[in-house]
Structure 1
Amino acid sequence: MTRWTDMTGAPRGADYASRFAELEAKGEEVHGEARLCASLVSAGARVLDAGCGTGRVAQWLHRNGFECVGVDVDEAMLAEARRAAPDIRWIQADLATLDLAEHGLAGAFDLVVCAGNVIPLVAAGTEPTVVATLADALRPGGLLVTGFGLDAAHLPLAEAPVTLADYDAWCADAGLSLRDRFATWDGDSYDGGGYAVSVHRR
């Protein structure tokens, strides 16, 4: 069982999507993750939104000409994604047990994105397996882009289960090297704060 499943309890896909829709209606920027991803790869690139939730990132990228697939463990969140964007391929799976070959997705992507604290919210002990699976989804030269909190202030958890040293070691073991690290999805320089956006290359 993932930390996300433990944390949420009841399904809340529509509520989750509504919160971001309300923020966007007020003029707030809610597509920073997708915009950063779009800046890192060529137009029309193939993107895997891993831990996609209601599909906000994949939907923006799809609308802007990218070929997207979304994967999430939470069926309630995926139901909202399917309702909002039925033309995108959505897969219900735990990232720790996702069989890329079964879905024809091994080595298929130019970029894999994990927004929304995906890495700290997978099941404890499965993090290296998840990172290896995400790396296997990339073509040679492809990018893994993740953003997650490094302290309780930036997580829906009492404490941070993952450090950057942990994460970089898992990436290295999976054949990935660090290309960039930012403090925000807007690309601000990382200075050791409580949130980091990491870009690793296969």
Structure 2
Amino acid sequence: MNRWEELTGGTSGEGYAARFAALAESGKDVHGEAGFCAALLPSGGRVLDAGCGTGRVAIRLSELGHDCVGADVDASMLAVARTAAPDLTWIEADLSRFSPPGDFDLIVAAGNVLPLLETGTEAETVRRLAAALRPGALLVAGFGLDRAHLPVPPSLTLEEYDSYCSDAGLILDARYATWEGDPYDGGGYAVSVHRAP
């Protein structure tokens, strides 16, 4: 069982969606991840939202003209995504066992996806995601590195993540502290952009 399922029991879709709806209603920008990714994509780029949850990022990127697919292990999250955007492709899958086609321009793993995987599956998950990228395409992952930025105890360091990416043939392109593109300063959250050769 992955750490997300241990944390939520796989029943948090409606509550998760309601939290972001409330943030949006209060005037908060809930599309930072999508905006960040859109700036890196070619027009009409093909995107995999890995660990898509309720589909917030994929749906926004689709609205911006990109061809999006979402994958998540949590059926309750996917139920919300399918209701919100029935025309998009939503796949129920454990990312450590998922083999998407290798034709994506960008794969995004937002929302602490990687630290919430089943412990010990991180390297295999990165390998599978890397294999789904076109040459020159990007893997973008944002996740917490300390207890202040995670709902569970930290389990993945940047050094480990970079080594998994390197082993999968990816090259670090850039690293930021936020989805707004602030420079990474060694803090407790990082957005990493790795490129396929």
What TM-score comes out, normalization by structure 2 length?
0.98
What's 1:167 paired with?
161
How many angstroms apart in 2 are the aligned matches of 1:141 and 1:97? 24
Cα distance, 1:13 vs. partner?
0.8
Matched residue SS, 1:29? coil
Pairing 1:98-113 to 2, within 5 Å after superposition: 98-100=98-100, 105=101, 107-113=102-108
User: Residue 31 of structure 1 aligns to which amino acid in structure 2?
Assistant: H
Q: Percent identity?
A: 61
What's 1:20 paired with?
20
Matched residue SS, 1:80? helix
Unaligned runs of 5+ in 1: none
How many angstroms apart in 2 are the aligned matches of 1:116 and 1:43? 24
Unaligned runs of 5+ in 2: none
Cα distance, 1:18 vs. partner?
1.2
CA contact (8 A) 2:99 2:132 kept: no
What's 1:84 paired with?
84
Counterpart selection for 2:137 from 131, 135, 142: 142
Cα distance, 1:99 vs. partner?
2.6
Q: Does 1:34 align with 2:34?
A: yes
What's 2:150 paired with?
155
Matched residue SS, 1:190? coil
Pairing 1:54-69 to 2, within 5 Å after superposition: 54-69=54-69
User: Residue 45 of structure 1 aligns to which amino acid in structure 2?
Assistant: G
User: Residue 150 of structure 1 aligns to which amino acid in structure 2?
Assistant: L
CA contact (8 A) 2:10 2:75 kept: no
User: Residue 15 of structure 1 aligns to which amino acid in structure 2?
Assistant: G
Matched residue SS, 1:57? helix
User: RMSD of the alignment, in Å?
Assistant: 0.7
What's 2:187 paired with?
193
